Amino acid sequence: MQLKTMRNLDVKGKKMLVRVDFNVPLDERGKVTDDTRIKATLPTIKYLVDKGAKVILMSHLGRPKGKVVEGLRLDDVARRLSELLGREVKKADDCVGSPATEAAEGLKEGDVLLLENLRFHPEEEKNDPAFAKSLAGLADLYINDAFGTAHRAHASTAGVADYLPAAAGLLMEKEINTLGSILADPRRPFVAVLGGAKVADKIGVLKNLVNKVDALLLGGGMANTFLKAAGSELGDSLVDDEHLQFAEEFLATAKERDVQVALPLDLVIAASAEQNDALVVDADNVPRGRRALDIGPRTAEHYSQLIKEAKTAFWNGPMGVFEKEQFAHGSEMIARALCRPGLTSVVGGGDSLAVLEKYGLAGQVTHASTGGGASLEFLEGKELPGVFKLME
C-alpha cells in the first residue's frame, strides 16, 4: 500500500478540509505559549493557498469532553496563524451547522478558515458517522496533516475519509516517510534512546525495536525497573513492579538477539524532585529515602558516545525530571549528542521536544516528530486509523 499525497490533487478553486493539530498550550489569558505545532502545518497551508484552494482547517484543543469550554476556543490560535501566514485567517464559531457552512460558502480562492474546537461535540471522539458526514459536507476534498492524532479513530481523523477523497498533507507525508525509513532501512548502527516514567507505556515499542536496532539506551523512571530486574537497589525510586518479569525477559531476549541494552551506570538522586540535595551514586546503590531523578554524568557520557558512533538514532522520553535544572543534565546531553552532523536523528514525544526547545536545539535534529503517542504506536508496528484511510 502507498500513501496518497495532496501533491497529486488538483486543488484550485476546491474547498479543502484540512485536519491539523493545533492542540497547543495556552496561558491563563488564552494566549498561545508554544506555536511549534502551528508552524509545522505552514508548508501544507501555504501550498494550498498558493495553488488557489479554499482552505478549511479543523482541530481539537484540550479536553473539553464534548462541551463548550470558553477557555478552549481557537480564537487566539487563529490570530497566531494569521501572524505566521501574513494573511487573515477567518474563524467560525462552530465546526458544523450554519456557522461553519456559511463561513465555508463565503470563501474565495486563497482564503483560510479555522473551524471551532472539534471536541466541543462529543460525536468527534465517538467517530459518529453523521458528525463526520457534516464535516465532510463543508468541502470537496479532505487532507489529513495531523500526525499527532493519527492514532485516534475520531470523526475528523478517520470518519471524514469515508465521505470525501482523502490524501496526506506535507507534514503527514514527512512523518510517515521519516519514521517508516528508520524502521525499514536505517543507516547502521541504529540506536534508540527511551526514557520517561513507565515501562508500561513503552512495552510495544520495546518489543518491536528489539528486532530493528543495534542498541537500546534506557533512562528516566522506566530504566529503574530494568535496573531492579538486573539486581540493583533503587531505594525509593519509581519502579514498575508489575513489569519486572517483562524487564527480565526483555533483557534476556535482547541478549539472545545480540542487541545491546545500555542501563544507567550512575544516577542523580535526591529525597524528592523538590529538594535541593542532589548527589550522584552508582546505579546499583540508591539508599532508602532517596530516589533516582536523572541519569548520572558517567551514564550521560556513555550514552552520548554510543549516539556519536551511530548513524541513525531515535529518542522518546527524557532521562530525568528535566524541568528541574539539577535533574536536566542527562536529557540535555542526549539532546546535544543527537545534533551531530551526519546523524539521522528523529525525536518524538512532547517532553523530548521540550528538552530540545529548552536548549535551543529543535532545528538541529533531522526530524522532530509532532506525534508523541502516534510516533510510538507507529514504531510499535500498529496500524494508525488516520494513516490507514490515506493509503491506496
pLDDT at residue 275, as a whole number:
85
Number of other residues whose CB lies within 10 A of the CB of residue 320: 28
pLDDT at residue 1, as a whole number:
73
pLDDT at residue 36, as a whole number:
86
Domain 186-380 belongs to what topology? Rossmann fold (3.40.50)
Where the chain has pLDDT below 70, the residues are none
Q: Report the first-to-last Cα separation within the chain, whole angstroms.
A: 5
| Distance from C-alpha of 141 to C-alpha of 162, rounded to nearest angstrom | 11
| Distance from C-alpha of 244 to C-alpha of 340, rounded to nearest angstrom | 35
| Distance from C-alpha of 99 to C-alpha of 66, rounded to nearest angstrom | 18
| CA-based nearest residue to 319, from 308, 306, 307, 332 | 332
Contact 217, 303 (CB under 8 A): yes
Residues 6 or more apart in contact with residue 385 via CB below 8 angstroms: 150, 151, 152, 153, 157, 158
Number of other residues whose CB lies within 10 A of the CB of residue 154: 24
Residues 6 or more apart in contact with residue 86 via CB below 8 angstroms: none
Active site residues: 37, 198, 350, 373
pLDDT at residue 376, as a whole number:
87
Q: Which residues lie across from 143 on neighbouring strands? A: 18, 167
Contact 182, 225 (CB under 8 A): no
Sheet holding 266-270, edge to edge: 279-282, 266-270, 291-295
pLDDT at residue 27, as a whole number:
87
Q: How far is CA 310 from the centre of its chain?
A: 23
| Distance from C-alpha of 119 to C-alpha of 98, rounded to nearest angstrom | 18
Task: Please state whether beta strands 344-347 and 15-19 pair in parallel, antiparallel, or not at all (unpaired).
Answer: unpaired
Each domain of the chain, given as residue ranges in start order, spans 6-170, 186-380
pLDDT at residue 373, as a whole number:
83
Number of other residues whose CB lies within 10 A of the CB of residue 9: 18
230 three-state secondary structure: coil
Residues 6 or more apart in contact with residue 228 via CB below 8 angstroms: 234, 239, 244, 247
List the beta strands (DSSP E) in 127-265: 141-144, 166-168, 190-194, 215-218, 233-234, 260-262
Contact 296, 264 (CB under 8 A): yes
CA-based radius of gyration for the chain: 22
Task: Please check whether the domain covering 6-170 is classified as CATH 3.40.50.1260.
Answer: yes
Contact 202, 315 (CB under 8 A): no
Q: Which three cell numbers stand for residue 164?
A: 470525501
Contact 3, 150 (CB under 8 A): no
The reply to whether 186-380 shares the fold of 6-170 is yes
